[in-house]
Amino acid sequence: MSLHDTYRPLPAEAGMCAQIVHLTAEADRLVSHGLWDPAEEDAALARKTASGLAETVRGADEQEGLPVIERLAHLREALAVLAIALARIHGPLAWFLAQAGTALSPVLHWRALPADRQWSFGTVVPTARDLGDAEQAVRHLHAALTRTAAGTAATGPDAGAAGPLA
């Protein structure tokens, strides 16, 4: 892949975490090749966003012990953190956050309460696997934003690892 190829997101069927891993690999590539050198304003917002994500979705063991309604609330809070950050920035970080929000958008179609299909507005109850995938995606995004804020990129065999929240 050349340094100037156009980024193409993975299809939704790949899963949220796979989409975020793909997205963050592109961000890491841009940073490592000097094509994206986040300005201090971007780095500060990336740090704040990473911190907000860490507050919403915690480690897998802790999250999996919560009721579905709380897990879903945490994921919606993560989307809110992204939306607030996105409203405050322009340029590459905004584009990165927008794509991350798009990857996590299926969360908006989930519900935790039972409902008749006729009046549930097309929402569905997520599976435990769906919730875990979304939570892992948020953890991976947290790690990537932390790296971006530091102006570093993931390298080596653990480049796809989700970081300290895993």
* Per-residue confidence (pLDDT) for residue 110, from 0 to 100: 97
pLDDT at 158 over 70: no
Q: Are 89 and 97 in contact (CB under 8 A)?
A: yes
Q: What does pTM read for this prediction? A: 0.88
Running DSSP on this structure, what letter comes out for residue 11?
P
Q: Which band of pLDDT confidence, cut at 50, 70 and 90, is reported for residue 5?
A: low
Name residue 110's beta-bridge partners.
Answer: 124
Q: Which band of pLDDT confidence, cut at 50, 70 and 90, is reported for residue 151?
A: confident
pLDDT in tens, 127-142: 999 999 999 999 999 9
* Other beta carbons less than 10 A from residue 91's beta carbon: 12
Tokens representing 37 are 């050198």
- What is the set of domains in the chain, with CATH numbers? 41-150 (1.20.120)
Among 15-19, 27-31, 156-160, the range scoring the smallest mean pLDDT is: 156-160
pLDDT in tens, 52-103: 999 999 999 999 999 999 999 999 999 999 999 999 999 999 999 999 999 9
* Per-residue confidence (pLDDT) for residue 1, from 0 to 100: 45
Burial of 113 (0-12, 13-18, 19+ CB in 10 A): exposed
Give CA angle at 45 (42, 46), nearest 5°.
80
